[in-house]
Amino acid sequence: MVLLSFLVSLGISIWLMNPGAWLFTLDRANHRSLHRGAVPQGGGLGIIFAILMGGGWIAFNEQGVSYLIWLALATFLVVMVSYLDDRTEVAPSWRIATHLLAAAILMISGLTPVELQFPGTTWILPVTPAFIVGVLFLVWMINLYNFMDGMDGFSGGMAVVGFAAFAILGALQGQAVFMQLNLCIAAAAGGFLVLNFPLARIFMGDVGSATLGLLAGAMMLWASHDGIFPLWMGVLIFSPFIVDASVTLLRRGLRGERVWEAHHSHYYQRLVHLGYSHRQVVLLEYGLMLGCAGSAIVAYSWSPERQWLLLSSWGIAYTFIFVLVYVLEAMNIRKMGIT
């Protein structure tokens, strides 16, 4: 099933590169884009169809799939509004309303995070605050993944590494349904990535990035609810996206910018503007992704003290990365001033 998910995603993505394809769409570069010209988009549809096939096979062959129906319904809502946005452009208010509805559906399904686990301790939340926290978390995951989908091979690579790590953690806990579904998502993203690695021949579009964001958040809440792994561990695995998007949003908000508008001030975008190629930056990001995912998997059996040390180390590492970007930008400005 994993191989089939990979091949279906790859095959549909190849088809969607054909201007005569029924669902063919183009992403035309603008002043905020990192690419030039027009590139076919909608490769996310290949990812989605492959995941649907994998999820259907799991639902038919396995027991304990109560979350899958709710997850399929929430995914359908996000897919529809994102595809319409790719084709025509949907008002932000309608997109957010749909994201809120999709998130609320998953909370009703039983994924409300009433217990937030941290190394060595657990916070118990009342149902209503937990519902609100869960909805906001999912809406942020949907949108941050969309924000971060701005460089060849980036979102696809994060999906392959992140969901594969979830599958490994699920396997360690003997959670067959969770493991198989995450493997299918990782494989579907991998099929698309073959055509999206720099220089990309197709983009996933909002329909792919928003859906992957929803699935990433949903898998974290599922894992936390069923005791597969704590929420902080899932956040660490996807932290290359979560930290960049969150810090950038905060920085823009403090400057009084319109945070809902497209921009090019994410840290990975700033590296590209400094002159590094898409391939160089994405390979650096892959190293970061693998480091976060690998350390989370290894730390699963560690003591709380060592887990806190790990989180502190990653906090220091991200701070160093952000400061380094600022230093490189200052050196570049100085160099341009001299020349």
User: What pLDDT, on a 0 to 100 scale, did the predictor assign at position 35?
Assistant: 47
Which of 123 and 258 is assigned the larger pLDDT? 123
Assess contact for 192 and 66: CB atoms under 8 A: no
Kindly state the tokens that stand for 91.
């008002």
Q: Cis link prior to 199 (omega < 30° from 0)?
A: yes
In order, the DSSP letters of 323-334 are HHHHHHHHHHHH
Token representation of residue 253: 């908000």
Which has the higher per-residue pLDDT, 95 or 86? 95
pLDDT at 149 over 50: yes
Q: What does the pLDDT look like over 183-205, one tens digit per residue?
A: 999 999 999 999 999 888 888 88
Q: What is the pLDDT of residues 173-187, one digit of tens each?
A: 999 999 999 999 999
| Closest by Cα among 159, 269, 173 to 209 | 159
Mean of the per-residue pLDDT values of the chain: 89
266 pLDDT exceeds 90?
no
Q: How far apart are CA 190 and CA 47, in angstroms?
A: 9
Would you say residue 86 has pLDDT above 90? Answer: no
CA distance readout (Å), 293 to 166, 246, 323 = 9, 19, 23
Nearest Cα to Cα of residue 212 among 162, 283, 150, 260: 162
